[in-house]
Amino acid sequence: MEDVNKLKPSFLSSDESLAVHAGERLGREIVTNSIRTPAVSTTTYFYKNSSELIDSKVRLYKYLLVSLSLSLSLSLSLSLSLSLSLSLSLSLESTSVMASGMCTSTVVLLAMVPRGGHIVTTTDCYKETRMFIETFLPKLGITPTLIDATDIAGLQAIVNNHGVSMFFTESPTNPFLRCVDIKLVSEICHKRGTLVCIDGTIATPLNQKALALGADLVIQSATKYIGGHNDVLAGCISGSMKLVSEIRIMHNLLGGTLSPNPRHPEHHIAKRKMTDFGGLVTFETTIKFIDSLKIPYIATSFGGCESFVDQPAARNWDVPRDERLKYGLKDNLVRFSFGVEDFDDLKADILQALDTIPTKTSLYSHQNGVVSDKN
């Protein structure tokens, strides 16, 4: 089967241009001559005869690398164009789009980690992903092991002494932005036949080419930077044709189709593996700081045009404090997602908010512990 990158036109040489034009220009002839791929309100497509069905299937695999059996609530054509655009932007063989980032994570884990298998992931990651790995996968006889994102020696020991099916990690991680040495962990894991899956949502495909560094699979919550406007839910998985084809089978079974700085402890790794550093910043401060900000919304997502700020401890107020601390969610941790507002405006707003932070400590009581406002 033809590699999707062979379809890349010479006049679209940059990632930025490919992200804008690849899906539309290369997928247009399959459905329409319009500039933009239209949304079609249908769940299936008919064919004039069996020969047309076979020809269409061949063309879809050649150009868009997804199976005909997908029935997408937005439209098949939109999702296929997005798959192609992402594949070309990432310089990958194949990409499949799904209903959300969480949908993508669960489908990948269920497809790639066998019953009775062993998965290693990191303590610092998206809460719902960790909960799925810790609470649901064991019901399938799968053993989860959690390690620190930078514990290379720990990962090597586990992989060498246990039959590990997959190492699954974000890089950078959420919310502490720990950077995993993807090249090194891939070398360690592949020596023992362990798959490496990287969640690159925070880095984005433009800033980090995880598969070129050795990972087997890379997932993105397209709800964030790929969507960019806080108005869609989507996720995608990219990798080799063989692996993504296996994942598509599980996706079709489960559904979940797509709807219409230098002080950082791993800065040297980020500089080597990323072309830029994204717009999500995490630091420890106070509730007073958040409430004093005027520009950002107090909201839990990231990757849109607007700046967001939130306090993970307050967001997880129903989780006992001891449990939060186990994952490093201190009471004074604040997560800030920078939007596209003017830098000087954001800087001035942050500085004035920092000036309001009191020196004394107060406590905000909650049902399962306290969230402190502490300098």
Spatial separation of the C-alpha atoms in residues 58 and 190, rounded to whole Å: 33
- Count of C-beta atoms within a 10 Å radius of residue 233: 16
Beta bridge partners of 198: 169, 218
- Which helix (H) or strand (E) is 321 found in, with range? helix 321-326
| Domains along the chain with CATH numbers | 4-90 (no CATH), 95-254 (3.40.640.10), 280-373 (3.90.1150.10)
* pLDDT digit string (tens) for the chain, length 375 residues: 345 555 555 555 566 556 555 555 555 544 555 545 566 666 566 667 767 666 765 555 544 443 323 333 333 444 555 555 555 555 556 888 888 999 999 999 999 999 999 999 999 999 899 999 999 999 999 999 999 999 999 999 999 999 999 999 999 998 889 999 999 999 999 999 999 999 999 998 878 899 999 999 999 998 888 777 777 788 989 999 899 989 988 988 888 877 655 566 777 787 777 776 676 666 555 678 888 898 888 887 887 788 888 877 777 666 777 777 777 777 778 888 888 888 888 888 899 988 887 654 444 444 444 444 444
Spatial separation of the C-alpha atoms in residues 321 and 313, rounded to whole Å: 8
Side-chain-side CA neighbours of 205 within 13 Å: the count stands at 28
